[in-house]
Structure 1
Amino acid sequence: MSLSLSCIWILFFECRSLFASKAIQTGDCIMKVPYNVQLTPDDLSPKIKSLLADEIGNISKLATIILFEQSKGQDSQWAPYIGCLPQPGEIHSTAVRHCSEVLENTTLKDFMHACALVGSRAWGSSKGLSLIPFADFLNHEGITEAIVLSDEDRQLSEVIADRNYAPGEEVVIRYGRFSNATLLLDFGFTLPYNIHDQVQIEMKIPSHDPLCQMKLELMQRHHLRTVKDVSDFNSFRNPFTIKEVKSATGKGKGIPQSLRAFARVLCCTSIQELNELAMEAVQNDGRLARRPLRICSKEIEAHKILLSHITQLIEEYNVSLESLETVNTPSMYGRFALRKQMARDLLTGREEEVLHVYKLVTLFAINSSIFN
């Protein structure tokens, strides 16, 4: 095997990290990992492959490879890498029973651990999924532009520095533009301040609205997705993703167009108002609510609907955050304290995004009232 780790040396702490062994300049290649030393589903031995059912996915296949290579001990060509991987985690899979004939001493707990390793450390590749030795020890930073790049021509993965690093400084990359919810679910950590945080909110069309069906048809015709409630089959809800949007010039912040459109449709009280929205969409690019409503009072009413819903969300997040603060016992230490901090990061990020839209809606409603 040939593994090139240019300009870095490795320190292993509780949270595995990579640190610069000498000065790194912007544009330097930090790491090169040839494809032939990466673990992919293609590395399954023919004997094991014949035992796996067709529906077994790449995560389970890679987990099986890890277990198989672990069983070889130091005879495995991947022993230096696999020996550095984290201790067991928790994840469930039933694929272990298919491999019990080959991996005699493997338990379900072992397989759960291997699946957790793959799920939190593998990268997407032309082969579906790959474990790239030691690239997965680079920690995540949301603002860096350094990512793991794949070069099919040279058959390798590499990382290029997007900044200068002094000797002893931790080298970081970006796993993706992920919210704290995604980071927590896929990787098991959160960031105290995450510029990619977002929150999904839901708004309903009341079942008692006499124009409910017409509003639904209008929104569906103009590509606003509606989902029927499980608990209340006579009403419909719309999910909207809110995140702070900034352009390179610092502009571009705004209320999601789809959310603004929903509020305008929701406040319509006549067929004529709905027809006017539909005509406006046809005359523009096919999307609803691209321009302010002709009647300013209706625009203010739409924003008041948003304000009411967003205010309720803020209150709910505040209650949840306060409940986290009330726990102050010795059991807070260790793993519980870490989980509590991640929950706080998750809630705080979501609340900040909701507050961002709240301020915009309030400002617009005030300005509309002034100039009306």
Structure 2
Amino acid sequence: MPCASVRAVNFSYFPRSILTLSHHLLLKIRYCIPPQRCKVSKCRDEDCDDFLPWLENKAGVRISSLLAIGNSDYGRSLFACKSIQAGDSLLKVPFVLQISPDNVLPDIKPFLTDSVGAVAKLALVILVEQKKGQKSEWAPYISRLPQHGELHSTIFWSENELKMIQQSSLYQETIDQKAQIKKEFLAIKPVFDRFPDIFEGVNFENFKHAYGLVASRAWESMKGQSLIPFADFLNHNGTSQSVLVSDEYRQLSEVIADRDYVPGEEVFIRYGRFPNSVLVLDFGFTVPNNMYDQVCIQVDIPYDDHLRAMKLDLLQKNCLPKLKDAYFSSSGGSFIMKEVRSARGKGKGIPQSLRAFARVLCSSSPQELNDLALEAVQQDGRLARRPLINRSLEIQAHEILLSQIDKLIANNNMSIENLQAVDAEFTNCRRFSIRRQMAQDLLTGEVRVLRSASAWLTNYCQLVRSNRKQL
């Protein structure tokens, strides 16, 4: 699995690490460090035996004596080559070894407009170093990055593959992201044309691959993003407490072990608390039964609603600034829903913003809308956050949500069933099999979240009916 992305994602972005300090480059001190022999696992990647000694020689300091590069089901990974105890420093990578947008060639920088983001700038650095080949000072690192066809982010999926997740909001997010990459390519293309000796033969597919490499491996900082060789071999585990942190005073990034490891065991960190929708788009992998899974629900006010304009105006005036779990547009709202709270205390329940939207949606008169606005002013300023006095309307509001969620469950289940009905030409394709499993993990996780919401809404409506009868 690649390391975490720096891309901003609609409705689902979380800080991927606590890299919060600048990346000032140190003077390069070069001297030889004797290679350290360690007990390597059976997963050892012999092609990388020289990588860590090269990197340590380049930095002039020891980076790790506890980890070795090996192969896992997800490609190159880091394994314990000695016994590791919780609290041990797993690796320390000096800032001098970190590739940032500052590494863009000085001749090129003046021609990059403000529309070119940090990820695209780093992609340029990758492209330049790739063209240099073995003459590049970063050749041992660049040559070990995933090759064309080895990245599984949805930006690389074919149209037929994307149809597998058409039911998910990730489908549109992927289309939007591909359009953004194309936009940045067009902004950079004049640079390619101006420096043909450097970028000869580079096309959009080359740029998109480099962009994908950066987006799946870069680490965020206040100064932008950086590629951190060796550290980016660490794979993700959502339950791990280890993260990459940076120390500006010591001018290095470090990972501390959160638990004990025995020799030969793969070592993990946590990229962030990401749902599969983020993992598959940014990094190109999924986690089965991901505890952080979530669903984006779009609820619109019908155009034939005679109070539509009044409702939209009321929502816009009372729902700003934007909520972290909701986004309001000219037609309605998009809401992020996580697994709903259960008897085990898991999940956060139906978003209050979504329930408030439903209460506004089911209001049938200007007076009811005015009452909601007045209540918001008299209370804490939040619109329709309390149950409606009219219990019938309260039930109706939540049944609207229940109906839409049950439809989403049915559609997702149909999509999951259709995953098995694929063209014969794809059945023996390993790449397609990987992506089909990712689609299944994504949709299955969304169904789990939706079912928990459906159960909660059903119980709530029954409770309101019961209380109404008692009254």
1:113 & 1:174 partners in 2: Cα distance? 24
The aligned counterpart of 2:102 is 42
1:53 & 1:271 partners in 2: Cα distance? 49
Deviation at 1:217, TM superposition (A): 2.1
CA contact (8 A) 1:38 1:133 kept: yes
In structure 1, runs of 5+ residues without a counterpart are 229-235
* Paired residue secondary structure (1:200): strand
TM-score (structure 2 length as normaliser): 0.71
Deviation at 1:78, TM superposition (A): 2.3
Instruction: In structure 2, give the amino acid aligned to 1:23.
Output: S
The aligned counterpart of 2:317 is 221
The aligned counterpart of 1:98 is 191
Sort the Cα spacing of 1:221 and 1:111 in 2 relative to 1 into closer, same or farther, 3 A. Answer: closer
Instruction: Give 1:16-95 correspondences, 5 Å limit.
Output: 16-50=76-110, 52-53=112-113, 55-89=115-149, 93-94=185-186, 95=188
Deviation at 1:83, TM superposition (A): 2.4
Deviation at 1:72, TM superposition (A): 4.2
Of 196, 211, 214, the residue aligned with 1:115 is 211
2:446 & 2:253 partners in 1: Cα distance? 34
Instruction: Give 1:192-231 correspondences, 5 Å limit.
Output: 192-223=288-319, 226-228=328-330
**Residues 1:9 and 2:64 are matched in the alignment:** no
The aligned counterpart of 1:149 is 245
The aligned counterpart of 2:277 is 181
Deviation at 1:204, TM superposition (A): 1.9
Sort the Cα spacing of 1:21 and 1:149 in 2 relative to 1 into closer, same or farther, 3 A. Answer: same
1:142 & 1:150 partners in 2: Cα distance? 20
Q: Identify the structure with bigger relative contact order (alpha carbons < 8 Å, sequence gap 6+).
A: 2
Instruction: In structure 2, give the amino acid aligned to 1:156.
Output: L
CA contact (8 A) 1:41 1:127 kept: no
Sort the Cα spacing of 1:18 and 1:324 in 2 relative to 1 into closer, same or farther, 3 A. Answer: same
CA contact (8 A) 1:6 1:32 kept: no
Of 247, 259, 264, the residue aligned with 2:359 is 264
**Residues 1:317 and 2:377 are matched in the alignment:** no
Of 391, 395, 403, the residue aligned with 1:308 is 403
Sort the Cα spacing of 1:246 and 1:75 in 2 relative to 1 into closer, same or farther, 3 A. Answer: farther
1:220 & 1:110 partners in 2: Cα distance? 43
Between 179-188 and 357-366, report the one with greater CA deviation. 179-188
Instruction: Give 1:125-140 correspondences, 5 Å limit.
Output: 125-140=221-236
CA contact (8 A) 1:216 1:226 kept: no
CA contact (8 A) 2:295 2:336 kept: yes
Deviation at 1:69, TM superposition (A): 2.9
* Paired residue secondary structure (2:459): helix
* Paired residue secondary structure (1:16): strand
CA contact (8 A) 1:180 1:191 kept: yes
* Paired residue secondary structure (1:287): coil
* Paired residue secondary structure (1:124): strand
The aligned counterpart of 1:279 is 374
CA deviation vs aligned residue, 1:194-213 (integer Å, no higher than 9, x gap): 11111111112122222222
**Residues 1:292 and 2:373 are matched in the alignment:** no
CA contact (8 A) 2:412 2:443 kept: yes
Between 285-294 and 126-135, report the one with greater CA deviation. 285-294
Instruction: In structure 1, give the amino acid aligned to 2:63.
Output: S
Between 68-77 and 12-21, report the one with greater CA deviation. 68-77
Deviation at 1:47, TM superposition (A): 3.2
CA contact (8 A) 1:33 1:157 kept: yes
* Paired residue secondary structure (2:144): coil
Deviation at 1:326, TM superposition (A): 2.8
The aligned counterpart of 1:365 is 461
TM-score (structure 1 length as normaliser): 0.89
Between 12-21 and 157-166, report the one with greater CA deviation. 12-21
- Fraction of identical pairs, as percent: 52
The aligned counterpart of 1:124 is 220
**Residues 1:161 and 2:261 are matched in the alignment:** no
Sort the Cα spacing of 1:346 and 1:272 in 2 relative to 1 into closer, same or farther, 3 A. Answer: same
CA deviation vs aligned residue, 1:29-50 (integer Å, no higher than 9, x gap): 1111110111111123323435
1:115 & 1:354 partners in 2: Cα distance? 33
Instruction: In structure 1, give the amino acid aligned to 2:125.
Output: I
Sort the Cα spacing of 1:298 and 1:60 in 2 relative to 1 into closer, same or farther, 3 A. Answer: closer
Sort the Cα spacing of 1:347 and 1:116 in 2 relative to 1 into closer, same or farther, 3 A. Answer: same
The aligned counterpart of 1:233 is none
CA deviation vs aligned residue, 1:280-325 (integer Å, no higher than 9, x gap): 2122211123322223222212111111111111111111111112
CA deviation vs aligned residue, 1:262-288 (integer Å, no higher than 9, x gap): 111122222332222222212221112
**Residues 1:238 and 2:333 are matched in the alignment:** yes
* Paired residue secondary structure (1:103): helix
1:319 & 1:329 partners in 2: Cα distance? 20
1:297 & 1:104 partners in 2: Cα distance? 66
The aligned counterpart of 1:170 is 266
Sort the Cα spacing of 1:152 and 1:365 in 2 relative to 1 into closer, same or farther, 3 A. Answer: same
Q: CA RMSD in A?
A: 2.5
The aligned counterpart of 1:352 is 448
The aligned counterpart of 1:232 is none
Instruction: In structure 2, give the amino acid aligned to 1:163.
Output: R
Q: Size of the alignment, in residue pairs?
A: 364
* Paired residue secondary structure (1:46): coil
Sort the Cα spacing of 1:105 and 1:279 in 2 relative to 1 into closer, same or farther, 3 A. Answer: closer
Deviation at 1:245, TM superposition (A): 6.1
